[in-house]
Amino acid sequence: MMEEKLRIESRLAQIGSQEDPATGAVNYPIYHATAYRHPRLGQSTGFDYARTKNPTRAVLEEAAAALESGDAGFACSSGMAALTTIFALFRQGDHLVVSLDLYGGTYRLLERILSKYGITASYVDTNDLDGLESARRPETKAVFIETPTNPLMMITDIQAVCSWASRHGLLTIVDNTLLTPFFQRPLELGADIVVHSATKYLGGHNDVLAGLIVTKGEELSAEMAILHNSLGAVLSPHDSYQLMKGMKTLALRMERHEQNSLAIANYLLGHPAIAEVFHPGLPDHPGHEIQNRQSSGNTGIFSFKLKDARYVEPILRHIRLIAFAESLGGVESLLTYPAVQTHADIPAEIRDAVGVDDRLLRFSVGIEHADDLIADLAQALEAARAELEAAAVPGGGQA
């Protein structure tokens, strides 16, 4: 059966399995070589130097491009390395329009690093076309979208933004980390570039640091290849192998992540200590209909806001099965406090205006049994309540 006729589950499971006809290896080998023999002067095997191209990395990159319906893929040493490579497309004086609720590392890269080179950014709700138009300047070159955003799960209508950007000659870049090509393929909706922190759902096991870029169009792909080679933040052969191995089970994992996260989100909706739950799979979530239209499923990450910020510390201290840790997208469940972890580099006034305040917790739901995760949350919430009540009674001690 031709690959283009295979469903995505089959294509994921078969990554690299038919790429080594010499041995028939169903797991593509790790090539550690940094140099390659030339048959004769003026001839190449296609591999010259490992930074430029490596056989193991090439198989991963081809798979990434095919999964995202792109023309070329580029594997980088981290998600931030992938973003740095993309932003190298721009030059002094260029301006970007960027999603308002932005991952803190992306904000840090834009404001602390790229600003030194004269690249500026405006942060807007990218689902507001009037807001996009107001932010656009003569020097604007691209719009950068996270959808869903991290951590408030704001949804952007990708097709509408791509149409707007195309009318104005702007590139559209979409961070697809939270949904992966299993659930969402922005290039099919008109985007020019997709980027992933592949450390997250694509790798899926909290054991590999990686980033992926996928481009659409011959000219853009050629330019990205030059940047990828010149900047040199490429993924190692071993990490390329690890990432491919993780991606083989992506379909199974994403289905379980979605199932678990919705079950837990619905549990928290009815809890007296919870003020808000931010999950695009919930019917009353802003952008729920857009999400259903442009995506085939929901991510396993969501956030919730407590009624009382004093609950945060005891909850994080009392969880047992769930780990208090940064990152997301792995098989193990992680609870994160964005205000002091992932979004600490964003100024407090901006965080508060967006809603990333001291009552917000972000939950990366793993593939454990949902009932066990709910039980762990329940006991941590109950322990926090008991401590706060005890602290309120004279002689009851401090929480």
Residues 242 and 254 in one domain: no
Residue with tokens 């309120």: 392
Task: For residues 29 and 23, give the distance between their C-alpha atoms in angstroms, rounded to a whole number.
Answer: 10
The HSE-up count of residue 17 (CA atoms within 13 Å, CB side) is 11
Q: Is the dihedral of CA 291, 295, 298, 299 positive or negative?
A: negative
Predicted confidence band of residue 277 (pLDDT cuts 50, 70, 90): very high
Residues 149, 35 within the same domain: yes
pLDDT in tens, 165-219: 999 999 999 999 999 999 999 999 999 999 999 999 999 999 999 999 999 999 9
Closest CA to 103 of 188, 181, 216, 200: 200
pLDDT in tens, 88-105: 999 999 999 999 988 889
Q: Which two tokens stand for residue 345?
A: 């580099």
What is the mean predicted confidence (pLDDT) over 117-136? 96
* Domain limit, last residue, from 216, 247, 278: 247
Is 395 a residue whose pLDDT tops 80?
no
Domain end marker among 221, 247, 273: 247
Whether residue 254 sits in one domain with residue 226 = no
* CATH classification at residue 266: 3.90.1150.10
Q: What pLDDT does residue 231 have?
A: 98
- Tokens 């690249």, residue? 119
Strands 95-99 and 120-124: parallel
Q: Which residue matches tokens 């047992």?
A: 320
Contact status, residue 288 vs residue 157, Cβ threshold 8 Å: no
Is the pLDDT confidence value at 2 over 60?
A: no
Tokens read off for 374: 């709910």
pLDDT at res. 398? 45
pLDDT beyond 90 at 385 = yes
> pLDDT per residue over 235-250, tens digit each?
999 999 999 999 999 9
Instruction: Average the pLDDT over each of 32-46, 215-229, 329-343 and give the range with the smallest value.
Output: 329-343
Tell me the pLDDT band of 1, cut-offs 50, 70 and 90.
Answer: very low
116 with 213, same domain?
yes
| Res 114 pLDDT > 60 | yes
Q: Is the pLDDT of residue 271 over 60?
A: yes
* pLDDT confidence of residue 55: 97
Q: Is the dihedral of CA 163, 166, 167, 170 positive or negative?
A: positive
Label residue 394 by pLDDT band (50, 70, 90). Answer: confident
Smallest CA-to-CA distance from 145 within 158, 134, 130, 132 is with 158
Amino acid at the residue 79: G
Pair 127, 287: CB distance under 8 Å: yes
**181: part of which helix (H) or strand (E)?**
helix 180-183
* Distance, CA of 53 to CA of 336 (rounded, Å): 37
81 found inside a domain: yes
How far is residue 198's CA from residue 221's CA, in Å, rounded to a whole number? 19
The verdict on 129 and 79 lying in the same domain is yes
Tokens of 12: 């994921």
pLDDT of residue 344: 67
Task: Indicate if the pLDDT at residue 399 is higher than 60.
Answer: no
Catalytic residues: 51, 103, 175, 200
State yes or no: pLDDT of 358 exceeds 50. Answer: yes
As for how many domains the chain has, the answer is 2
Q: Number of helices and strands (H, E) in the chain?
A: 14, 12
379 CB contacts (<8 Å, ≥6 apart)?
A: 318, 320
- Predicted confidence band of residue 348 (pLDDT cuts 50, 70, 90): confident
Q: What is the CATH number of the domain that holds 46?
A: 3.40.640.10
- Please provide the average confidence, as pLDDT, over all residues in the chain: 95
Share of the chain above pLDDT 70, in %: 97
Q: Where do we find the tokens 């840090």?
A: 108
Strand order from edge to edge, sheet including 193-197: 72-76, 211-215, 193-197, 171-175, 140-146, 95-99, 120-124
- Helix, strand, coil percent values for the chain (each to nearest 5): 40, 15, 45
- 399: in domain: no
* pLDDT given for residue 352 in this prediction: 73
Residue 370 has pLDDT above 70, yes or no: yes
Q: Are residues 52 and 172 in the same domain?
A: yes
Instruction: Give CA–CA dist 336/330, Å, rounded.
Output: 13
